[in-house]
């Protein structure tokens, strides 16, 4: 039971960091709704 509690705490911490990272990347204009790498395409770079 103790191991499960530690794993849950680690999961909660990592999920919090993941949400923070998503907010930061979204603020910089990076669209995370359809990751290009997962779909097998190269990411499009904005030239401008």
Determine contact, residues 18/12, Cβ cutoff 8 Å.
no
Sorting pLDDT into bands at 50, 70 and 90, what band is 27?
A: very high
Sorting pLDDT into bands at 50, 70 and 90, what band is 24?
A: very high
At residue 46, does pLDDT exceed 80?
no
pTM: 0.52
Supply the pLDDT for residue 35: 62
DSSP state letters, 15-43: HHHHHHHHHHHHHTT---SS-HHHHT-PP
Better-scored residue on pLDDT, 41 or 11: 11
Cα–Cα distance, 10 to 41 (Å, whole number): 32
At residue 13, does pLDDT exceed 70?
yes
């Amino acid at each position: 039971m103790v191991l499960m509690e530690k794993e849950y705490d680690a999961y909660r911490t990592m999920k919090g960091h993941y949400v923070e990272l998503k907010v930061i990347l979204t603020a910089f204009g990076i669209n995370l709704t359809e990751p290009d790498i997962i779909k097998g395409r190269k990411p499009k770079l904005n030239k401008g």
